[in-house]
């Protein structure tokens, strides 16, 4: 397949200086075992990571590392990158070997790798600021939804406690009241050196999550 640079420029809304760089970025290893997009994918992954972690750092100045890490993971996971790669219409430009005929939205790994390799090529071809602006534009919707990321308070508290004290949080059942069809559970939690915090919920799991959330809230106030 011969790469149509003019069409690629128009599709991605970018200016390309080094054509061979983008040929490499769009070449799957099935087409060329040596000169393919794997190295540019490696680079693009790091550029995306730097841009998005900096954006989250500035967007959520009061959040701790654990929360930022979860928001970041949502932005850079394979599914997100593959959907962005699909939205870029990279399937129209990928250079495959005889093994592959066409790309579908279900090919998450290939699409995610393509997304990263294109970013790597843009970075080398036009520099960090240009690549940063491209990334922030393509990830704009996902960044705007990053405050909706569902955080697992129990996991968050467990990671915090293990990192700081090398010990797991301690949960204790307190009570269960109300009718059978709508019970109210109360469970408490504490970590080394902390007060005990109570959580409520219609299941034990909900009560534990609520207790963990209350303890974490107290930690973050300090």
With H, G, I as helix, E, B as strand and everything else as coil, classify residue 189: strand
Distance CA 18, CA 126 (A): 9
> Which residue in the block uniquely carries the two structure tokens 């405050």?
147
Active-site entry in 107, 116, 156, 210: 116
Distance CA 44, CA 90 (A): 15
Q: How many CA atoms lie within 13 A of 119 on its CB side?
A: 34
Q: Is 45 a catalytic residue?
A: yes
Kind of pairing, strands 197-201 and 170-177? unpaired
Greatest Cα pair distance in the chain: 70
CB 136 within 8 A of CB 191: no
Beta strands in 63-180 (DSSP E): 170-177
The tokens describing 8, both together, are: 């690629």
The tokens describing 137, both together, are: 């534009």
Q: Is 69 a catalytic residue?
A: no
Active-site entry in 24, 41, 45, 210: 45
Residues carrying an active site annotation? 45, 116
């Amino acid at each position: 397949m011969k790469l149509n640079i003019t069409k690629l420029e128009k599709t991605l809304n970018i200016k390309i200086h080094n054509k061979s760089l983008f040929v490499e970025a769009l070449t799957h290893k099935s087409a060329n075992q040596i000169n393919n997009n794997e190295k540019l994918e490696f680079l693009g992954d790091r550029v995306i990571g730097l841009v998005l972690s900096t954006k989250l750092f500035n967007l959520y100045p009061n959040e701790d590392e654990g929360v930022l890490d979860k928001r970041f993971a949502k932005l850079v996971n394979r599914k997100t990158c593959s959907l962005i790669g699909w939205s870029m219409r990279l399937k129209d430009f990928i250079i495959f070997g005889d093994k592959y005929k066409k790309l579908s939205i279900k090919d998450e790994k290939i699409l995610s790798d393509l997304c990263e390799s294109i970013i790597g090529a843009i970075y080398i071809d036009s520099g960090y600021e240009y690549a940063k602006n491209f990334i922030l534009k393509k990830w704009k919707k996902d960044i705007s939804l990053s405050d909706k990321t569902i955080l697992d308070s129990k996991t968050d508290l467990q990671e915090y406690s293990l990192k700081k004290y090398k010990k797991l949080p301690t949960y204790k059942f307190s009570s269960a009241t109300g009718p059978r069809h709508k019970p109210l559970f109360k469970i408490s939690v504490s970590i080394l050196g902390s007060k005990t915090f109570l959580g409520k919920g219609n299941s034990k799991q909900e009560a534990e999550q609520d207790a963990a959330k209350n303890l974490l809230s107290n930690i973050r106030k300090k």
